[in-house]
Chains A and B, each alone.
Chain A
Amino acid sequence: MSSIINDEKQEFVSEFVNSSRELLDDVEPQIIALEKSSDAYGELDPEILNTIFRLFHTLKGTAAFVDLQTITSVTHEAETLLDIFRKEKVSLQTEHIDLLCRTSDFIRNILDTVESQLDDKGFENIASEIVVDLKNTIAAVSLETGGGQKLSPGNFNGGAAPATVKAAVDKSAGSPVEKPSTEKPSAENFEEENNFEEELKLIITPEMKARFTQETGELCEEAELMLLAFERVPDNLELAANAFRALHSIKGNAGFFGFIELEKISHSTENILDSLRNGAKQPDKNIMSVILTSIDYIRNGAKKINVNASIDAGETATLAAALESLNNENINSTKKDNNSLSDKVSAIIGPEGAESDDIKNGLESENSDGQIRPNDAGAKDIQKSSAASMASTSQFIRIDTEKLDSLLDLVGEMVIAESMVANCPDLKGLQLEKFEKAIHHLNKITRDIQETALAMRMIPLSSTFHKMERLVRDLSNKFNKKIKLEIAGEETEVDKTIIEQISDPLVHVIRNSIDHGLESNEERVKAGKPSAGTIRIEAKHSAGEVWIIIEDDGRGLNREKIIKKAVENSLIKGDGSELKDEEVWKLIFEPGFSTAEKVSNISGRGVGMDVVRRNIEKIRGRVDIKTQKDAGTMIILRIPLTLAIIDGMEIKVGSARYIIPIGSIRQSFKTMHDKISHTPDGTEIVNVRGELLPVIRLHDMYNIKSLYTKLEEGLLIIVENNEKKCCLFVDELIGQQQIVIKGLSNYLGHVRGVSGCAIMGDGEVSLILDIGDLISSVELSATA
């Protein structure tokens, strides 16, 4: 277990280091811009100031999360300093800029060590040096503002500065219960904080909100993962501590943005987590459920904030009450918490008491030098630091998906353009040896670029899989079934669009497995199985496809039951006894099909599996079922690696050209007259080695004048979709090639039997045939 923790820690830390480097890279230019703006206009640009503040704040939050005290402490002080600048019209000194640069340089230095050592040992001295310097500056500056305050009471930002000073005085007066406002808003300063947030609200940009939502989402996910692991291994308090830290960061962010509801809930949740990580409380189901609910609440709340929707007040109240009752449940343990908390508080406040002494000292030797002197040394420092930022290489960058998509579009264009050059009609019949060589080379490079571009959109399935842990846990409680979830192959990468599409099907399949597949614990014991059921999710690559396998060791599908239900719902004709097993299993995907006697709030309405099939078909995948009575069911989602490119066979009907995805072609052949029979309704049936297949005449279907009208003159192509086969009648095959799929314009709506289009080598557009749709449209007309 400890090695796993180490691995996880490694992962967190390297993520932290990467994101911190990014943040530092952002911070430095901003610091310089700040100095420039102050040089130029004599006052600080609030926009830049806020950006720097935010960046440091984020650094602080993430550093706290991976337990890097040195970074947390420096950034905290830097934040305090910036906060003063933000609230007060304080003139910026070169020393301030130097100090900020020093802070960011220090953090950057630490990061390198942290990356290799996983901790920040050995930097405490430098850190405390910086902290002391920062504190001195803060003292000097707040002094200056205190003075300025008296002189100009009309200052519209008035409220906050006395508060800082007051808080500092309170602390020095030895009332250690009062916590610094960034740590925990106590009742007393809550109102002030609100005012301060009112001011802040004005400057929260949509981008900031989006970032908040994203970060909160990520943190929620982490917290959730940790909690679920913690529930399994309640002895490992480190896990609870990790969750605690994640929530703490959320709280900090929410507080910073002034999202009071979120702050409140995360605060209460944090309290509970605190008692969990101290071992004061045991993680029973009740507590865990409440915590998980509040994490959901926070996640949704953050999403709502992003779209400017308001958070349901009733929900907030209920949740707050639940959390409160949990917090009060065990008075003894909470008391203990309070004690330990206040210990911590006094520990934090201790040094700050000293700081307020500094303030007093500073008050006497007032320094109101407001001039800003350009300082060469400072500029040099900055140059140095930006050079350093160039040197340290980061492994990841964040890219807007829109940019990726447009790159992919362009690459698609390039592939087309390349083949337009290669197949240029002007070159026909010419002997161009060198040209051929060059074009071959170009072709290879284009393919490589295409592959790389596609790979950039690939992301691992792990986060999708880990979301299922939560689902399984919730359902296991709901149904009172003990369930073990196994996950394998989570590192398998698939296209981003696919990830978005498979989450829902996965949920439905797992729900079904738990509700219908797995027996109750007693039944399992009776059947000689281990009492806890197992759900296994696995992802793997298999011949150009990704397979996502969901397997349970439950009772398996029941052929008789399914057939009975299908007959009742008249989904099949006759008694179904002649159906192959596979065909029977396929019935569970029919909309409205459910064998459940009772509709529960989890499943039984017969919607889920229909969703599974639809979503998977949307991404050109298919669903296979393997099942064995009393041994379990295995559902395989087979999904193509990418949605953007397929191998297609170009065919010709008259002057029109179409593309058939290679995957659905079985065979093409010329037929003889005696192999064809006509049914009374006009359908033509071809006998292919004993198999009778209906013929779809593409030219009839699409009203085109074709070269051939007799079946034996043209070409028949056997196509297959979902194990249904038919023959397409076409004039001729042109050839196979890779094509980039494009959607047909929305303006045209859905076109019968067409799934999209592609631009061919000669720049013309060809339609891609949707074989599944073609076959079902033929079936429809047959039943009608």
Chain B
Amino acid sequence: MSINEKIRNNNTMLDDDMDEEMEDTQEDKYLTFVLNREEYGIEIKHVIEIIGIQNITSVPDMPHYIKGVINLRGKVIPVMDVRIRFNINEQAYNERTCIIVITVSEQLVGLIVDEVSEVLDIPKTNVEPSPKVNRGEGSKFVQGMGKVGDAVKILLNADKLLFEEDLEKIAAL
């Protein structure tokens, strides 16, 4: 999988070089993926690897979007269905469904997405702040809108995606 190689290259650089260089190579790079025919991007520095969908062991008492845990070569990591996280209707997993393993604040989490596209350079000048229209679940996880040619990628804030509490949950308290 060529994308995985790219990620791996990035990550080895991460190991080898000092901070500045790492910032250089990681800056402005995004892994893009598809969710309900929309293109999203997530900063490459969070991404560990991409794996195909596999058996998920469900864990009780979790929010709906946490589908359970998987075995990633001996590490047990939780997986989140991003569709459900964004309140998009669920869809049966197929051979294109992928799990993007990301790490934020030393937590490994798998993100289930429809399919993975590519690694893209989106310079800051091409990133616009997200429109301030608060509609739907997903908007609060958006970090900005990246323009690539004519296309627009929705850039996600990985931190919020993982750790932002449900608004409903807070309201319910």
Contact = CB atoms under 8 A, between A and B. Distances in A.
B76 A747 contact: no
A325 interface: no
Nearest to B57: A765
A754 interface: yes
A444 interface: no
Contacts of B74: 409, 412-413, 416, 759
B71 interface: yes
Interface string A734-760: 000000001111111001111001010
A765 B57 CA distance: 6
B38 interface: no
A767 B61 contact: no
B1 to A, nearest CB: 20
Contacts of B58: 656, 704
B69 interface: yes
B107 A765 contact: no
Given A744-B76, A745-B108, A747-B107, A752 B61 contact: yes
Contacts of B60: 701-703, 751-754
A747 B162 contact: yes
Contact of A744 (B55, B69, B108, B162): B69
Interface string B2-28: 000000000000000000000000000
A595 interface: no
A748 B71 contact: no
A754 B71 contact: no
A483 B71 CA distance: 54
Given A742-B76, A765-B57, 4 more contacts: A409-B74, A748-B78, A765-B70, A767-B57
A764 interface: yes
Contact of A745 (B55, B61, B73, B76): B76
A364 to B, nearest CB: 54
B107 A746 contact: yes
Contacts of A765: 57, 68-71, 76
B148 interface: no
B62 A748 contact: yes
B77 interface: yes
Interface string A409-425: 10011001000000000
A748 B62 CA distance: 8
B109 interface: yes
Interface string A760-773: 00011111000000
Main secondary structure of the interface of B (DSSP, over half): strand
A interface bracket (residues with beta carbon within 8 Å of B): 20 to 34
Nearest to A698: B60
A751 B61 contact: yes
11 contacts: A413-B74, A656-B57, A701-B60, A744-B69, A745-B76, A745-B78, A747-B109, A748-B59, A757-B76, A759-B71, A767-B57
Contacts of B162: 747
B156 interface: no
Nearest to B75: A742
B108 to A, nearest CB: 7
Interface in B135-160: none
B103 to A, nearest CB: 11
A265 B55 CA distance: 62
A663 B66 CA distance: 31
Nearest to A747: B107
Contacts of B62: 748, 751
Residue among A412, A744, A747 with max Cβ neighbours from chain B (10 Å): A747
A704 B58 CA distance: 10
Contact of B107 (A416, A702, A745): A745
B75 to A, nearest CB: 8
B55 A764 contact: yes
A748 B58 CA distance: 12
Interface in A620-640: none
Contacts of B70: 765
A49 to B, nearest CB: 27
A743 B59 CA distance: 13
Contacts of A743: 76
A226 B57 CA distance: 55
Given A745-B78, A746-B107, A757-B69, A766 B57 contact: yes
A416 B71 CA distance: 12
Contacts of B68: 765
Interface in B43-92: 55, 57-62, 66, 68-71, 73-74, 76-78
A757 B77 CA distance: 11
A731 to B, nearest CB: 16
B60 to A, nearest CB: 4
A747 B163 CA distance: 9
A759 B77 CA distance: 12
Nearest to A702: B60
A413 B59 CA distance: 22
A767 B61 CA distance: 13
Contact of B57 (A747, A752, A753, A764): A764
B59 to A, nearest CB: 6
Nearest to B68: A765
A409 B77 CA distance: 15
A744 B61 CA distance: 13
Contact of B77 (A745, A752, A766): A745
A274 to B, nearest CB: 50
A298 B69 CA distance: 47
Contacts of B69: 744-745, 748, 757, 765
B28 to A, nearest CB: 27
Q: Which 10 A-B pairs have the closest CB atoms?
A: A702-B60, A765-B57, A413-B74, A747-B107, A745-B78, A759-B71, A765-B69, A765-B71, A747-B78, A752-B61
A759 B55 CA distance: 12
Contact of A754 (B59, B66, B109): B59
A759 B76 contact: yes
